[in-house]
Amino acid sequence: MRGIRKEFPGVVANDEVSFEVRRGEVHALLGENGAGKSTLMNILYGLYRPDGGEIRLNGKPVSFSSAREAINAGIGMVHQHFMLIPVMTVAENVVLGTEPVREGVLLDERAAARRVADMAKTFNFAVDPEALVEDISVGQQQRVEIMKALYRNADVLILDEPTAVLTPQEASDLFDILQTLRQEGMSIIFISHKLNEVLEIADRITVLRRGKTIETVSRHGATEASLARAMVGRDVLLRVDKPQAATGDVLLTVQDLHVRDDRGIEKVRGVSLDVRAGEIVGIAGVDGNGQSELIDALTGLQKIESGAVTIAGRELSHASARAALDAGIGHIPEDRQRRGLVLEFSIAENIALHDYAKPPTARSGWLFPGRMVQRAKTLIKEFDVRGGGPLTRAGGLSGGNQQKLVVAREIDRDPKVLIAAQPTRGLDVGAIEYLHRRLVAERDEGRAILLISLELEEILSLSDRILVLFEGEIVGEHTGEVSEETIGLEMLGGGEKAVA
């Protein structure tokens, strides 16, 4: 692809972008959110038309006006949000649009299933062709997406942020599959903003920033720091420097907490912990080991089966969400788009979500929009929320700025205890750096911070104390230096406690 240019109303998404992929290599496209990676790939896949530049495939210039043309030319794409139909079988999803036919008009279901089974066997995919897509795991769904491309004889495979939805184990399986495909002579374009996985899988790396190609480098010689600099345009502190914690009183106490999820399964089974003022306690664990239920119980969103939650001396075991907030809990939710913000509301309205009924925002049942806007202006400035003013729709902000907005609202309420759940999920390096520094700063202000994250690295670099959650129980506690391996083992239930 050479000199590709694409403009959307008001933005240049790709500005003279050039890069090339060789046969049998894994080529990573690295860049922050909004750097133009996905746009570039949608152009290559025929979903967008470029405003300038040319695409050459095997030396010949090509131009695709639809996905079908790109597919016919041997390009396959695994989208970030899977393009699968949940109520159809794996085989039906794979052959859709290029179906095998018998007797002229009928769909040959058997041939479809057989060919999918053959592919699954060749590449060791372990996917049942007759299974419904909604019944298989996310990792398997991704393999179905890859099979869709293989079935259409793709020799260039584009993967858009493929690991975003995978567990670490599934991601490692995916990398094995990609290695196999590369050995078969396939060219793979791997889009990501995660430095470590790019260094692990890619042969060469092209960095994009704000729609422009910055550089193409070989994996050998590239480091996380050098790539981060190219991505962001300045030096990035990947490790957080933080002073020694000065801890104070215990602000959050949880005693023998048991919580059941919506289906009645006990997900939190006797968790006890406390968090002091001025410390960050990190909870490590593989997804689905009770993190969400623990958070929901602490914030009053889920009923507690038994046990006690105390915030700054106040018993809050069966309190409502409103009471938990009033008692001094701040909550940065796991899913900012669904739980953190009302995307159709403006920034000012989102900021007023908690305190809309209290002075100064409201008095005697009347809302004062002017005051809401004033407050929003102050916070936008203080927390460096970019991309709009107080009346901008929250949904129009980038992920990093949405998260800053949530953090601004929660911290402005001056909470005693701040629960930060996956605070940097899906964010790019620059925004992660900002949020990490902010969390440490809030700790130094004397807040008690409970950090729940699936990113082990984040837990290790931020926490003063680490608790490991496995199947709803705390199976390990560490203060000070501890290796990633030790915690990783405990996260899988293989710690000392399990051995003993």
Of 152 and 260, which CB lies nearer to another protein in the complex structure? 152
- Supply 74's token pair: 């041997």
Cβ neighbours, 10 Å, residue 368: 14
Residue 380's φ and ψ, nearest 5 degrees, are: -60, -40
Count of chain residues binding another protein (CB under 8 A): 31
Closest separation in Å from C-beta 44 to another protein: 13
Closest separation in Å from C-beta 151 to another protein: 10
Of 95 and 419, which CB lies nearer to another protein in the complex structure? 95
**Binding flag, residue 71, another protein (CB under 8 A):** yes
Taking contact as CB under 8 A, which single stretch among the options 98-106, 233-241, 398-406, 454-462 is the one that binds another protein? 98-106
Residue choice 11, 85, 237, 391 for contact with another protein (CB under 8 A): 85
Residue choice 98, 216, 310, 337 for contact with another protein (CB under 8 A): 98
E strands within 64-123?
A: 75-78, 101-102, 106-107
Residue type, 211: G
Residue choice 92, 197, 349, 490 for contact with another protein (CB under 8 A): 92
Of 91 and 449, which CB lies nearer to another protein in the complex structure? 91
Fill in the per-residue mask, 113 to 152: x = in contact with another protein (CB under 8 A), - = not in contact.
Answer: -----------------------------------x---x
The DSSP 8-state label assigned to residue 65 in this structure reads S
CA distances from 10 to 7, 13, 318, 398, 408 (A): 8, 9, 50, 15, 28
Q: By C-alpha distance, which of 311, 228, 221 is closest to 31?
A: 228
Strands 266-276 and 306-311: unpaired
**Binding flag, residue 434, another protein (CB under 8 A):** no
Q: By C-alpha distance, which of 149, 143, 151, 116 is closest to 130?
A: 116
Applying the rule CB under 8 A, the residues between 305 and 364 that interact with another protein are none
Of 107 and 237, which CB lies nearer to another protein in the complex structure? 107
The DSSP 8-state label assigned to residue 464 in this structure reads S
Residue type, 488: G
Of 102 and 303, which CB lies nearer to another protein in the complex structure? 102
Cα(453)–Cα(449) distance, rounded to whole angstroms? 12
Cα(65)–Cα(60) distance, rounded to whole angstroms? 16
CA distances from 292 to 71, 310, 334, 340, 499 (A): 40, 19, 8, 14, 26
Of 91 and 227, which CB lies nearer to another protein in the complex structure? 91
Closest separation in Å from C-beta 97 to another protein: 4
**Binding flag, residue 47, another protein (CB under 8 A):** yes
Residue 399's φ and ψ, nearest 5 degrees, are: -55, -45
Taking contact as CB under 8 A, which single stretch among the options 66-74, 246-254, 353-361, 398-406 is the one that binds another protein? 66-74
Burial 334-343 (b: 16+ CB within 10 A, else e): bebbeebbee
Closest separation in Å from C-beta 339 to another protein: 23
Taking contact as CB under 8 A, which single stretch among the options 15-23, 67-75, 293-301, 363-371 is the one that binds another protein? 67-75
**Binding flag, residue 37, another protein (CB under 8 A):** no
Residue 201's φ and ψ, nearest 5 degrees, are: -105, -30
Residue choice 13, 29, 84, 468 for contact with another protein (CB under 8 A): 84
Cα(344)–Cα(346) distance, rounded to whole angstroms? 7
**Binding flag, residue 48, another protein (CB under 8 A):** yes
Residue choice 101, 138, 353, 357 for contact with another protein (CB under 8 A): 101
**Binding flag, residue 83, another protein (CB under 8 A):** yes
Of 43 and 407, which CB lies nearer to another protein in the complex structure? 43
Of 96 and 312, which CB lies nearer to another protein in the complex structure? 96
Angle at the Cα of 69 (from 66 to 73), degrees rounded to 5? Answer: 145
Look up tokens 């010949």; give the residue: 60
Closest separation in Å from C-beta 15 to another protein: 20
Residue choice 58, 63, 66, 483 for contact with another protein (CB under 8 A): 66
Cα(175)–Cα(479) distance, rounded to whole angstroms? 33
Q: Which residues contact 244 (CB under 8 A, 6 or more apart)?
A: none
Closest separation in Å from C-beta 83 to another protein: 4
Of 150 and 351, which CB lies nearer to another protein in the complex structure? 150
Of 115 and 404, which CB lies nearer to another protein in the complex structure? 115
- Supply 350's token pair: 């989102």
Residue choice 14, 42, 346, 424 for contact with another protein (CB under 8 A): 42
**Binding flag, residue 107, another protein (CB under 8 A):** yes
CA distances from 79 to 34, 246, 455 (A): 16, 46, 23
Closest separation in Å from C-beta 153 to another protein: 13
**Binding flag, residue 80, another protein (CB under 8 A):** no
**Binding flag, residue 500, another protein (CB under 8 A):** no
Of 9 and 243, which CB lies nearer to another protein in the complex structure? 9
**Measured in whole angstroms, how far is the alpha carbon of residue 310 from the centre of its chain?**
31
Q: How many residues does the chain have?
A: 500
Cα(263)–Cα(302) distance, rounded to whole angstroms? 12
**In the complex, which residues of this chain contact another protein (CB under 8 A)?**
42, 45, 47-48, 66-69, 71, 77, 79, 82-88, 92-93, 95-99, 101, 105-107, 148, 152
